[in-house]
Chain A
Amino acid sequence: MFELDNQWDQKTDEELVRLSVANDDCFYMLMQRYEEKLIRYILRIVKANRETAEDILQEVFLKAYKNLNGFDDSLKFSSWVYRIAHNESISYWRKNQKNVDFVSIDKEENGLAKTLTGEDDTQAEALANERKEKIEELIGKLPDYYQEILVLRYLEEKDYDEISDILQKPIGTVSALIHRAKKKLEMEAGNMNIQDWL
C-alpha cells in the first residue's frame, strides 16, 4: 500500500516537501524518515509514556502536512519539523503537566539503549550509549529551559543554527544558554564523578 518508488529514497527532505504538496505519498517518506527520531525527542520533552508521544507525533505530522506550503526553503526540513514537534510537545506539557504520567526515559521500553542500539552492538557502542544515558539522566536534573537546549545539542546532536531555528531564538541566545547549561551540567557531572564524559 505504501510501497514507494525507490527513486524517492534518494530525494532530499526539501525535495520531498515540494513533491508532497502534490502527492501525499511523498509525505509518507518524510514521516518515515523522522518517526523514530521525533518520538524519541517528544519523549524527552514531555516525559510521558510512548503512546502519548505517538499521539503528539500524529498531531505533529498532520500539522506539518497542512503547513507544507508555509515551509521556509531557507530552513532545513529537519529543523522545521523539530520546531513543530517542540511546540506541540510544550503545548501538550502545559495543558497536561498535572496529569502527565511521568516516565523516566531510560526506563521507558527498557531504556534509551534499546532505542539507540540494536542487539548486535559492539562494546564501544554500548559504552557510548551508557554515557549517553548517564548524560540524559544528568540533563533530567536540570531546569526545563536548560534541558530542552541540552537535549537538542547533545542527545539530538543539532548544531547551533538548527537549535536556533527549532527553538526560534537568536544564535547568540542559544550559544549563551548552552554555555550556562553546560556549566550547570558540569556541576552535576562533578557530583557524580563523571565530568570527563562531557
Chain B
Amino acid sequence: MRDNKSTISQMVLEKIKKDEVKPIPKWHFVLKYGFLWLIIIIFLICASAALGVSYFEITDIDWEVPSFLGMGILNYFFFVLPYFWVLLFLAIGVLAYYNFLATPKGYKFPRYQIVTFGVLILVMVAAAFHYFGTSQMIRDTIRDNIPGFHRLMHNKEEVWNRPDEGLLAGKINEVQNNGVVVVTFDHTKWQVDTTNTDIPDGKELSVGQMIRIVGEKTGDNQFVAQSIKPWKKDGGLQFGPPPTQNNDDFGPPPPAENNGSQTKY
C-alpha cells in the first residue's frame, strides 16, 4: 500500500519525465476528427445513393406482372424488392450513425434527433440523385460492370421474358404492316401481331424502341400483343426517340436478312 497522498501524481510525473512522454500533437486530433467527418460524409453519400437506387427499383416495379405470374401483390413485392440496395442503405446508414456518435460532440444529441436529421439528409440527397438520373446511372453501372451482380437482384428483363405467361419485352427490330419484329433480351426474334393492340393514339412504333408487351403466345416465336408500353415506366405514354444503336441490353443488332424470321441468333 502506498502511503503518501501524492505518490501516484509523483510517480506519473516521474514516468513522464523519465520516458520523455509528450502530449500527442494537436494536428493529430484535427486530422483524426477531420477524417472521421470525411468518412461520415462519404457514408452519407453512399447511403443516399443506395436509397436512391432502392427508390428507383421500387418505382420501376411492374404491378401488372403478378397477375400473369399467378402471384399476390404482396408476394410479388417481396419477390422483386431490391434487397441488395435496401440492405446496403441500412448498413451504411448505421455505420454513418455510429461514426457520428464517435465525433467529439456526437453523444450530446438524442438518438432520435440524429436518426431524424440523418434520414432527412439521406432522403434529400437521394431525391437529388433520383431527379438527376444518378440513381439509374449507378444501378446500371454496377449491374453492367460487376460480374454476377445481376444474380443478387430481381431481374426485370427475366420477368418480362415469359412469353408462355403472356409477357414479352425487347427492342423493335422491324416495323411491318400488321406488327413488329421484336428482339428479346435473350436475343430471340419474335413476330408480334399488333393488329388489335392497345397503343396510345398518335403514337407509333418505330425501329429501335424498347417495349414491353402483354399478350399471348400463339406459336413458335409468334405473339399477339394486347397492349404495348414503353420499357421504362417513366417513359409515360411517350415511346421516345429510338435508343442509339448497340444498346447494351441487346448486344449486337440482328442480321438484316433474318428480319421477320423466328430464328434464334
What is A's interface to B at a CB cutoff of 8 Å? 1-2, 20-21, 24-25, 27-28, 31-32, 35-36, 39, 50-51, 54, 57-58, 61-62, 65-70, 72, 164, 168-173
Contact = CB atoms under 8 A, between A and B. Distances in A.
B29 A35 contact: no
Interface string B1-25: 1100111111111011100011111
B107 interface: yes
B111 interface: yes
Contact of A61 (B9, B22, B23): B9
Given A61-B8, A66-B22, A172-B110, 18 more contacts: A2-B6, A24-B13, A25-B13, A28-B13, A31-B13, A32-B9, A35-B6, A36-B5, A58-B8, A65-B12, A65-B21, A66-B21, A66-B24, A70-B28, A70-B29, A170-B108, A170-B111, A173-B110
Nearest to A49: B1
Q: Chain B: interface residue count, which band?
A: 20 to 34
Contacts of A50: 1
A41 to B, nearest CB: 14
23 contacts: A20-B23, A24-B13, A24-B16, A32-B6, A35-B6, A35-B8, A50-B1, A51-B1, A58-B11, A61-B9, A62-B16, A62-B21, A66-B21, A68-B23, A69-B26, A69-B28, A70-B24, A70-B26, A164-B107, A164-B108, A170-B107, A170-B109, A173-B110
B200 to A, nearest CB: 56
Nearest to B110: A170
Contacts of A69: 23-26, 28-29
Contacts of B1: 50-51
A171 B111 CA distance: 11
B219 interface: no
A35 B108 contact: no
Interface of B: 1-2, 5-13, 15-17, 21-26, 28-29, 104, 107-111
Nearest to B26: A69
B12 A58 contact: yes
Q: Which of B12, B16, B22, B110 has the most CB of A within 10 A?
A: B12
B67 to A, nearest CB: 50
Contacts of B2: 51, 54
Nearest to A22: B23
A31 B21 contact: no
Nearest to A28: B13
Contacts of A170: 107-111
Given A24-B17, A69-B28, A31 B107 contact: no
Contact of B8 (A24, A54, A169, A171): A54
Q: Which of A20, A31, A50 has the most CB of B within 10 A?
A: A31
Nearest to A54: B8
A50 B7 CA distance: 13
Nearest to B22: A66
A15 B100 CA distance: 29
B24 A67 contact: yes
Nearest to A17: B23
B105 to A, nearest CB: 8
B98 to A, nearest CB: 13
A171 B107 CA distance: 9
A57 B8 contact: yes
